[in-house]
């Protein structure tokens, strides 16, 4: 089964409440979710951070959740991250773990959401800086990005280390990459995980890969700190070569992969002397994150369907 056929169907389902209820209640779901979600609570994720550190890996921690509907939920999101920072501080893990944040979970889509999300995320970035780490703003669907970049720029005035994500599938991203590279930011480049229309995004896998390479080149030749977020062996090899051509040392960029995906490769690249950061998602509101992981690889969906039918 080809990814382009199934992915839009799964991504549409990722926004459906009816499917959310069905998938969450299915008996085989937990087993498949556990592959991608590191735990439900801070207590469950801390040993995973320690284990990663012991293997020479760093992490970026994501408290799952997005598309909230009330202001109270946006405060709860902020508080969940503040609790995480407290725990990292107590355990002296501040230099091993940064955090990834989805602004939609901080209230971005609510009325007055831009200001609300900025007000909610600022104390998290501040708390992170106080323990020697930082935050990266994830990229969500294209309608949210102007607000995300504006929040990134605003916060950079006080916290130059804050990072953001750009998506190779969007036509706009080469321009964003040039602007961010010149400004010296920490920038994660990924292919892009949302369902985007042909008016704003490449639909063809080969076109997305070519754009990814052009963008890595811009970032490597620029003044920022590139973070290559991909499991694609070809793009990783090309990125290594582009880093070399740009004269970057091994600690002047990093690779990032998702928890549960190509785990051997995390360790292999770290053993080669690369900085490798594992994006580690945890929490109870895992539905949207989980469905995007299913959409990326149809084999996951078949495995999931089988586990539902046989449990
Ligand atoms: P692909 O061509 O999709 O995958 C290459 C190979 O990796 C596959 O052949 C397979 O072996 C393996 N693989 C990839 N995905 C899976 C999977 N789900 N299950 C099992 N195997 C898999 N997207 C955003 O839109 N916004 C973000 O902020 C964002 N942050 C990210 C952070 C990190 C650290 C990473 C790694 C990805 C992030 N993504 C984000 C997701 C990204 O956009 C892609 O959807 C995802 O990384 C798959 O693309 P790929 O580059 O790995 O290449």
Domain presence at residue 29: no
Please tell me the residue having the least CA distance from ligand 1 atom 51.
230
**Segment 170-218, tens digit of pLDDT:** 999 999 999 999 999 999 999 999 999 999 999 999 999 999 999 999 9
**Segment 132-141, tens digit of pLDDT:** 999 999 999 9
**Segment 39-88, tens digit of pLDDT:** 999 999 999 999 999 999 999 999 999 989 999 999 999 999 999 999 99
**Segment 117-126, tens digit of pLDDT:** 999 999 999 9
In the chain, the number of structural domains is: 1
Residue identified by tokens 């509101």 is: 285
Residue of 62, 138, 176, 209 marked catalytic: 138
Cα(230) to centroid(ligand 1), Å: 5
86 is a catalytic site residue: no
Please tell me the residue having the least CA distance from ligand 1 atom 12.
231
| Banded model confidence at residue 9, pLDDT cuts 50, 70, 90 | confident
Cα(258) to centroid(ligand 1), Å: 7
248: left (phi over 0), alpha (psi -120 to 50) or beta: beta
Q: Which residues line ligand 1 (CB under 6 A)?
A: 138-139, 165, 167, 190-194, 229-232, 256-258, 261-262, 279, 293, 296-297, 300
Task: Tell me what pLDDT residue 3 has.
Answer: 52
Please tell me the residue having the least CA distance from ligand 1 atom 45.
193
Provide φ and ψ at 88, rounded to 5°.
-65, -40
Task: Tell me what pLDDT residue 4 has.
Answer: 58
Domain presence at residue 20: no
Best of 191, 206, 260, 301 for a ligand 1 pocket test (most atoms within 8 Å of beta carbon):
191
Cα(33) to centroid(ligand 1), Å: 16
Cα separation, 106 vs 72, in Å, equals: 10
Annotation-wise, does 231 bind a ligand? yes
Of 14-28, 100-114, 252-266, minimum mean pLDDT range: 14-28
Domain presence at residue 202: yes
Best of 2, 105, 148, 232 for a ligand 1 pocket test (most atoms within 8 Å of beta carbon):
232
Task: Look at residue 220 and tell me whether its pLDDT is greater than 80.
Answer: yes
Which residues form the domain of 112? 38-285
Indicate which CATH number applies to the domain containing 120: 3.20.20.220
138 is a catalytic site residue: yes
Provide φ and ψ at 283, rounded to 5°.
125, 180
Cα(24) to centroid(ligand 1), Å: 23
Q: Full-prediction pTM beyond 0.90?
A: yes
Domain presence at residue 196: yes
Task: Look at residue 311 and tell me whether its pLDDT is greater than 70.
Answer: no
CB 94 within 8 A of CB 133: yes
Cα(90) to centroid(ligand 1), Å: 32
Task: Look at residue 2 and tell me whether its pLDDT is greater than 80.
Answer: no
Share of the chain above pLDDT 90, in %: 84
Residue identified by tokens 């979970």 is: 105
Domain presence at residue 213: yes
Task: Report strand pairing: 186-190 vs 163-167.
Answer: parallel
Task: Look at residue 1 and tell me whether its pLDDT is greater than 50.
Answer: no
Q: Where are the beta strands (DSSP E) in 153-223?
A: 163-167, 186-190
Domain presence at residue 22: no
Domain presence at residue 139: yes
Cα separation, 53 vs 164, in Å, equals: 23
Annotation-wise, does 293 bind a ligand? yes
Domain presence at residue 211: yes
**Segment 226-282, tens digit of pLDDT:** 999 999 999 999 999 999 999 999 999 999 999 999 999 999 999 999 999 999 999
């Amino acid at each position: 089964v080809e990814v382009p056929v199934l992915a839009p169907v799964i991504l549409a389902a990722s926004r459906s409440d009816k499917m959310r209820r069905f998938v969450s209640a299915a008996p085989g779901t937990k087993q498949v979710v556990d592959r991608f979600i590191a735990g439900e609570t801070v207590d469950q994720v801390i040993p995973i951070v320690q284990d990663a550190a012991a293997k020479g890996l760093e992490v970026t921690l994501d408290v799952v959740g997005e598309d909230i509907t009330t202001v109270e939920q946006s405060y709860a999101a902020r508080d969940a991250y503040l609790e995480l920072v407290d725990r990292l501080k107590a355990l002296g893990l501040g230099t091993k773990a940064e955090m990834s944040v989805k602004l939609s979970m901080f209230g971005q889509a609510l009325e007055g959401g831009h200001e609300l999300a900025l007000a909610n995320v600022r104390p998290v970035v501040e708390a992170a800086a106080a323990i020697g780490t930082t935050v990266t703003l994830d990229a969500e669907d294209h309608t949210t990005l102007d607000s995300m970049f504006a929040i990134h720029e605003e916060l950079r005035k006080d916290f130059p280390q804050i990072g953001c994500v750009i998506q190779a599938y969007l036509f706009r991203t080469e321009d964003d990459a040039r602007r961010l590279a010149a400004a010296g930011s920490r920038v994660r480049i990924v292919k892009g995980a949302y369902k985007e229309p042909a008016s704003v995004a490449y639909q063809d896998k080969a076109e997305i890969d070519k754009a990814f390479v052009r963008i890595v080149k811009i970032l490597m030749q620029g003044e920022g700190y590139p973070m290559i977020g991909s499991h694609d062996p070809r793009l990783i090899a090309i990125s290594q070569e582009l880093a070399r051509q740009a004269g970057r040392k091994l600690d002047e960029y990093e690779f990032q992969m998702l928890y549960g995906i190509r785990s051997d490769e995390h360790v292999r690249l770290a053993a080669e002397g690369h900085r490798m950061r594992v994006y580690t998602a945890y929490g109870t509101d895992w539905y949207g994150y989980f469905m995007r992981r299913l959409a990326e690889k149809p084999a996951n969906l078949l495995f999931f369907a089988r586990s539902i039918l046989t449990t």
